[in-house]
């Protein structure tokens, strides 16, 4: 006997395909769903692995990195699996002395031309474990989910390499951009090469989609974004192969930069909860797909409230050419796993 489930449920496309189609603005049965920072401290199984080793040790062991990347997928069945690593990891290949406590700490920040001259070497060795983890995740998943690789944007990497710990205002980098713009240009050029090399290595390892994190671009006006962060992002994109996987560009709090982000040339722009999602769709949703945009703290609410928030988000997202359901920023350690489950299931059920 056929099960009623088998009769009523359309056997939608494999999740990897759903993800890629939404990124390119092609029709899908429902939006694909994943969450930034979906592997992390909110999961007890992550904390158990984390107990025995440091964050960097976990990133540098391909078995552990692959296992931790797959933990949220095994629980919730997201359509995308982001590889467990960090945007700053590639910098270790260039002589940057990196640690986490839990935020990034850099022992030898770059603030002058001589510092910059020391920034040589290559990202490839430093991210080799990440690329090996991508291969292992892909071998396990096949088409069951898209594997997402990522890199830090030049401006955001520059913020961390110039100041440690980083201030909210990015005091050092923003100050330098007014006093010594040529130095900042050279730093951004170098970091654009690092980001591009990181992404190219991940493409070679089999990443299905790529996200660039420009977390700190929001401190720039649209004009200064074009002058610094945007110019450097275009350089990254120009260094990627023409047949590259879809690119998602994320900048937190970027309401004032939305058109400028779309102009950089990604397939998807990822926005946060500060902008009305329907307004974002109206402004750029015909040109790029949108990713986002629930407030991460909404996941602390009861299930029914999360379902209502997701329904509202999905309704607004229909105005965009494609929508990848996500939060507006990473999952916070204090979020209960049930909240993440309610979020993912609400999107999954929207296709039934
Ligand atoms: O999204 C994922 O699950 C993939 C893995 C991932 C991490 N960091 C793991 C991580 C990704 C994509 C990142 C990106 C990243 N790293 C960004 C851009 C995204 C963003 O959050 O804006 C930035 C700015 C960093 C730098 C960084 N790394 C910070 C500021 C911190 C501390 C933040 C915190 O939550 O305490 C990290 C550490 C870090 N990166 C952790 C994880 C899981 C916490 C590590 C731990 O102690 O277990």
Q: Which two tokens stand for residue 175?
A: 């100050």
Residue closest via CA to ligand 1's atom 46 equals 55
Q: Is the pLDDT of residue 335 over 70?
A: yes
73 is catalytic: no
Residue closest via CA to ligand 1's atom 3 equals 37
What's the whole-number mean pLDDT along residues 153-158?
98
Q: Is the pLDDT of residue 348 over 50?
A: yes
CA distance 261 to 250: 8
Residues with Cβ within 8 Å of 240's Cβ and at least 6 positions away in sequence, in order, are 196, 199, 200, 203, 247
Please report which residue ranges of the chain form alpha helices under DSSP H: 4-8, 15-24, 44-51, 55-60, 62-76, 113-117, 124-141, 154-162, 171-179, 181-205, 222-225, 231-238, 258-263, 277-284, 303-317, 337-349
In the reported structure, the alpha carbon of residue 303 is separated from the centroid of ligand 1 by a whole-number distance in angstroms of 26
**Among 58, 330, 334, which residue has the most ligand 1 atoms within 8 Å of its CB, making it the best to mutate?**
330
The verdict on the CB of residue 286 being under 6 Å from ligand 1 is: no
295 is catalytic: no
Lowest mean pLDDT among 10-19, 132-141, 276-285: 10-19
Q: What is the pTM of this model?
A: 0.95
Q: Is the pLDDT of residue 6 over 70?
A: no
Query: What are φ and ψ of residue 154, in 5° steps?
Result: -55, -45
- The model's pLDDT over 285-324, given as tens digits with 9 standing for 90+, comes to 999 999 999 999 999 999 999 999 999 999 999 999 999 9
Q: Which atom of ligand 1 is nearest to the CA of 215?
A: 22
- The model's pLDDT over 64-107, given as tens digits with 9 standing for 90+, comes to 999 999 999 999 999 999 999 999 999 999 999 999 998 999 99
The proportion of the chain whose per-residue pLDDT surpasses 70, expressed as a percent, equals 97
Q: Is the pLDDT of residue 231 over 60?
A: yes
Full set of structural domains in the chain with CATH? 15-349 (3.20.20.210)
86 is catalytic: yes
The confidence score (pLDDT) of residue 12 equals 60
42 is catalytic: no
Q: Is the pLDDT of residue 8 over 80?
A: no
21, 60, 160, 190: which is the annotated catalytic residue?
160
Average pLDDT over all residues of the chain: 95
Residue closest via CA to ligand 1's atom 13 equals 86
The confidence score (pLDDT) of residue 65 equals 98
The verdict on the CB of residue 330 being under 6 Å from ligand 1 is: yes
Residue closest via CA to ligand 1's atom 29 equals 103
The verdict on the CB of residue 40 being under 6 Å from ligand 1 is: yes
CA distance 336 to 333: 8
């Amino acid at each position: 006997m056929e099960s009623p489930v088998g009769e009523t449920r359309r056997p939608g496309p494999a999740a990897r395909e759903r993800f890629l189609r939404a990124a390119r603005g092609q029709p899908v049965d429902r939006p694909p769903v994943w969450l930034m920072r979906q592997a992390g401290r909110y999961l007890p199984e992550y904390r158990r692995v984390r107990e025995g080793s440091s964050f960097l040790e976990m990133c540098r062991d391909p078995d552990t990195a692959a296992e931790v990347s797959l933990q949220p997928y095994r629980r919730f069945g997201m359509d995308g699996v982001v590889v467990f690593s960090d945007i700053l990891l590639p910098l270790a290949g260039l002589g940057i002395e990196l640690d986490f406590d839990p935020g990034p700490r850099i022992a030898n920040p770059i603030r002058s031309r001589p510092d910059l001259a020391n920034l040589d070497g290559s990202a490839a060795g430093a991210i080799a474990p990440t690329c090996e983890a991508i291969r292992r995740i892909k071998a396990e998943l096949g088409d069951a989910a898209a594997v997402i690789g990522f890199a830090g944007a030049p401006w955001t990497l520059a913020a961390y390499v110039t100041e440690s710990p980083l201030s909210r205002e990015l005091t050092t980098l923003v100050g330098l951009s007014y006093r010594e713009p040529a130095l900042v240009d050279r730093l951004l050029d170098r970091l654009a090469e690092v980001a591009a090399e990181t992404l190219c290595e991940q493409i070679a390892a089999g990443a299905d989609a790529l996200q660039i994190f420009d977390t700190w671009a929001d401190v720039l006006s649209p004009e200064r974004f074009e002058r610094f962060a945007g110019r450097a992002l275009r350089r990254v994109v120009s260094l990627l192969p023409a047949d590259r996987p879809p690119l998602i560009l994320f900048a937190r709090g970027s309401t004032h930069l939305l058109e400028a982000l779309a102009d950089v040339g990604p397939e998807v722009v990822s926005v946060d909860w500060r902008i009305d999602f329907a307004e974002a769709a109206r402004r750029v949703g015909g040109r790029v797909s949108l990713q986002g945009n629930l407030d991460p703290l909404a996941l602390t609410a009861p299930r029914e409230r999360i379902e209502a928030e997701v329904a509202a988000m999905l309704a607004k997202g229909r105005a965009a050419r494609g929508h990848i359901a996500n939060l507006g920023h990473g999952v916070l350690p204090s979020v209960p796993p049930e909240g993440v489950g309610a979020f993912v299931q609400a999107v999954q059920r929207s296709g039934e």
